[in-house]
Structure 1
Amino acid sequence: MKNIRQLFKDKDYLLEEPEVEQLIAYCEELQDEIVEFKFEKGKSKEKVLLEIIREISNSCQDIQKQQLEHERFDYEAPDYRNAVLNLKKYLDDRCREERIYF
């Protein structure tokens, strides 16, 4: 992708014209939109699924830590039923948002 200013490298005096300044500003906005689009496009379902799996794994580790604390300090046991329901809700919500069906 060419830098818009390179197009005027032989005629620098044109860069000071209001119309050219507007054109440059517009081109820079479009370049930003292209970058954002490429970023969004790059977020494939595979990446989303990996992100979901990481979140589920982290949730499971948190529950395991709670269980270890319960055993060590005789705290109240984790609410596994509620944890599983929350995990299922999270999974359903993310899959619906990302249009992932299984």
Structure 2
Amino acid sequence: MKSIREIFRNNRDLLEESEVQQLVSYCEELQDEIIELKFQKTENKELALIDMIKEVIKGCEALDKEQMEHERFGYDAPDYKSTVSYLQRYIHSRCREEKIWIG
């Protein structure tokens, strides 16, 4: 996309015209609206996915820590099956809430 200066580089005097100034102002408003709409469109799902990924990473780190403690002190291993099941339910639940279709 060309900037206003690029468009009028050979005819700078046209920028002084009232109608051209109105048109430039209108185009700038439209650009701002487009940027805002793009942000709103992507913000929700992107933030939801980032939040979900952070929670998954946090859960994995907690599992690693728990595993190390169990190995260190000789306790029984954690119940990974229920943990993975919980993680799957969490992901599917968040996807439904945020209307993210992962298949």
TM-score of the aligned structures, taking structure 1 as reference length: 0.57
1:34-82 CA distance string (max 9 Å, x none): xxxxxx9885200110000000000000100110001100112110001
- In structure 2, the residue matched to 1:92 is 92
Q: 1: distance between equivalents of 2:42 and 2:91?
A: 21
- In structure 2, the residue matched to 1:57 is 57
Structure-to-structure mapping, 1:1-102, within 5 angstroms: 43-102=43-102
RMSD between superposed Cα atoms in Å:
1.7
The one-letter code sitting in structure 1 at the alignment partner of 2:94 is R
Mark the runs of 5 or more structure 1 residues left unpaired by the alignment: 1-39
Mark the runs of 5 or more structure 2 residues left unpaired by the alignment: 1-39
Q: How many residues align?
A: 63
Q: 1: distance between equivalents of 2:45 and 2:79?
A: 31
TM-score of the aligned structures, taking structure 2 as reference length: 0.57
The one-letter code sitting in structure 2 at the alignment partner of 1:64 is D
User: Where in structure 1 do 4 or more consecutive aligned residues deviate above 2 Å?
Assistant: 40-43
